[in-house]
């Protein structure tokens, strides 16, 4: 079995695969990682709770965009699993070409593994969107060549900025409003955030298709808010909430 860690700025997604099958998936707040013991015990308890023998874990791979927690994470794997984890990066072998970059790691490993999974699961000629801390749009052609990428502030970043800069608004839950015509402050914020993101998504996707003269490109989305966004538009072809984990697993299989 393989243990897969997708370390984002907000959450750490933890997955256990038996061959190609994802057995379980958990989320852990990145901010909670303080020491190797805290994180190591957390994972060990998860595996025990779900009757997974930690001694059967053969490989561990970490894909991270949060370098400040990596020392604790790496040490936790060494200490509690006696395994040296593989640290994913964009120079590792895959069927995605990043020749557009002088330094492939400029892209970000999270986006690289999204492209790997998108290409392997759905084929090329695709736009892959990740609604995470940032919202990212990555384009791969029919042969798996990376074409271009676009980055914009994510919904949570926008919500946090509103809360911090407009103190009377306070914190609020990000969810899809029942009506597009708000009748209170909370609904007003939700309409602006959710439908603003939907409008941005439709505009950028249509613009990419037009600029590349590829109107038939597939649109694949992932990330915690992907289901909410996809419910409000017909421009999305596939919603895949495990895309990033699957991409890390594919990268592990190619390089272990």
Active site residues: 110
Question: Pick from 138, 172, 180: which is nearest to 155 by CA?
Answer: 172
DSSP state for residue 234 in the 8-state scheme = S
Angle 61-123-217 from CA coordinates, rounded to 5°:
120
DSSP codes joined into one string, 85-136:
-EE--TTS--S-B-TT-SSGGGS-HHHHHHHHHHHHHH-SSEEEEEESSEEE
Beta-ladder partners of 239: 221
Query: How many C-beta atoms lie closer than 10 Å to residue 65's C-beta?
Result: 16
Cα-Cα-Cα-Cα dihedral sign, residues 154, 155, 156, 160: positive
């Amino acid at each position: 079995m393989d243990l897969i860690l997708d370390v984002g700025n907000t959450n750490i997604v933890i997955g256990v695969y038996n061959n190609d099958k994802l057995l379980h998936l958990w989320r852990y707040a990145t901010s909670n990682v303080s020491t190797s013991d805290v994180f190591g015990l957390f994972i060990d308890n998860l595996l025990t709770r779900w009757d997974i023998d930690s001694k059967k874990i053969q490989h561990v791979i970490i894909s991270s965009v949060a370098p400040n927690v990596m020392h604790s994470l790496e040490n936790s794997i060494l200490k509690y699993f006696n395994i040296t984890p593989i640290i994913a990066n964009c120079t590792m072998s895959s069927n995605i070409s990043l020749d557009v970059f002088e330094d492939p790691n400029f892209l970000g490993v999270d986006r690289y593994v999204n492209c790997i999974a998108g290409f392997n699961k759905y084929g090329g000629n695709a736009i892959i969107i990740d609604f995470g801390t940032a919202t990212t749009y990555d384009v791969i052609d029919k042969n798996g060549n990376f074409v271009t990428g676009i980055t914009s502030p994510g919904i949570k970043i926008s919500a946090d900025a509103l809360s911090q800069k407009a103190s009377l608004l306070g914190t609020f839950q990000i969810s899809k409003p029942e009506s597009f015509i708000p009748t209170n402050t909370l609904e007003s914020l939700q309409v602006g955030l959710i439908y603003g993101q939907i409008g941005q998504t439709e505009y950028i996707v249509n613009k990419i298709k037009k600029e590349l003269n590829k109107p038939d490109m597939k649109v694949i989305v992932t990330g915690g808010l992907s289901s909410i966004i996809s419910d409000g538009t017909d421009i999305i072809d596939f919603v895949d909430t495990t895309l990033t984990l699957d991409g890390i697993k594919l990268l592990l299989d190619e390089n272990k």
